[in-house]
Structure 1
Amino acid sequence: MQLVEFLAPHFQFVSDPTAWVALLTLIVLEVVLGIDNLIFISILTNKLPEAQRARARRLGISAALIMRLVLLATISIIVQLTTPVFTAFGHGFSWRDLILIAGGLFLVWKATKEIHHTVDPDDHNDTMMGETLQISLAGAIFQILLLDLVFSIDSIITAVGMTDEIAIMYIAVIVAVSVMMLAAGPLANFIAKNPSIVMLALGFLLMIGMTLIADGMGYHVPKGYIYAAMGFSALVEGLNMLARRRKKSGGGH
């Protein structure tokens, strides 16, 4: 009974149609924002032995959920992360900006390293390649957690801007991460089975990293532009894959 009395004030929105619209909108937005995280997790876990990949994906996405829920519980602190702490180059940098810049730099570094290895896998003088091949489960989880932190903070701040109802934020985050959990396996398998997709996905990560850096520097790039470019690139690559398959099947006859 006490639990019901405690939760009741947080679920008063169920009788408000606009709150349901906000919930659906936020779920869609959180799922879309999760695509960036999912691509990174898929590429990273595909570097692990096959027996460890599913476990790494589950642990990484579960950590993302826990991190988002913890951040929601400290939402008053998260909101303050947008307050400028110092000014440079005419821009007031907040902790959110610094986290986005750090995350963007990490993504650019990681994507560049993987692109180099993909283009020149036989370069044994490249120590970065050695790091890529020797990635462990713990190392993969650690890198996933780093990016989880960046994407989680961005996700929660987005949620705060959409609604004041904490229950709506919790529901949207849980649903979005559940979708990520379901989509992670098929996406990772698709990337693993189609080598040309790897380069495309790495290009996406590079673009996402640059976008995070730009956002942290005060130059906001509308997400719609980013996802439209990603969608168009994926469509073109899909047509290329279809053309290659038809060419192979035609050659076989």
Structure 2
Amino acid sequence: MLRIENLTKKYGNKTAVDNLSLHVKKGLIYGFIGHNGAGKTTTIKCCCGILHFDAGEIYIDGVSIKEDPLGCKRKIAYIPDNPYLYEFLTGIKYLNFIADIFAIPQTEREEKIRRYADLFELTADLPLPISAYSRGMKQKLAIISALIHDPKLVILDEPFVGLDPKATHHLKNIMREICSNGGAVFFSTHVLEVAEKLCDEVAIIKNGKLVISGSMEEVKGNDSLEDIFLELEGE
């Protein structure tokens, strides 16, 4: 579903991502782990077509994001760690704006908005301006907007930050549901306990370079993911 081949991204003389290769297969939740500044967010933004990159290729469901960026973006959903929303809009107007972009029919969008807004207990707040939302409410709205077009690949950057335990539980279930329906999830997180329990496969990045990747069992063996991460960080 997502194939990264020899990705390199530089900011001036600094190499943020260095010859990185990963493969996120259909049906899998894939965790992307690394310290602050390791290159996780840069990699994710390259995958979403937000950043150009200096070398390598990125394929979404077999399609090059360089050659067909719009086609790729139709298949993905991106939820950043700090979503930028149009705060002058109400929640419902924002969701309809996103639905318009993807040309979602009225009946279908209403059903999806109702389902997810009820699930995340945001229905009563949709008529309010987004400027009145808390951080957690904005995160929930961003999640709903990302799911409205049935993406094949969901890419999330620290998705659980700001979410209460109940919303976190629902998001985990949605991630698993997407994979069960033939999609895939690629997400970064600092919450290693969550990654260990949730992810099918995981990659650890350090200073822009891939350190280790594979199934959760292959990566951590008989240790915890936290132990492996700290050991690799100390090398």
Q: TM-score if structure 2 supplies the norm length? A: 0.22
Report which structure shows greater RCO (CA 8 Å, sep ≥6). Answer: 1
Which has the greater radius of gyration?
Answer: 1
Q: Which has the higher helix share?
A: 1
Identify the structure with the greater strand proportion.
Answer: 2
Q: TM-score, normalised by structure 1?
A: 0.21
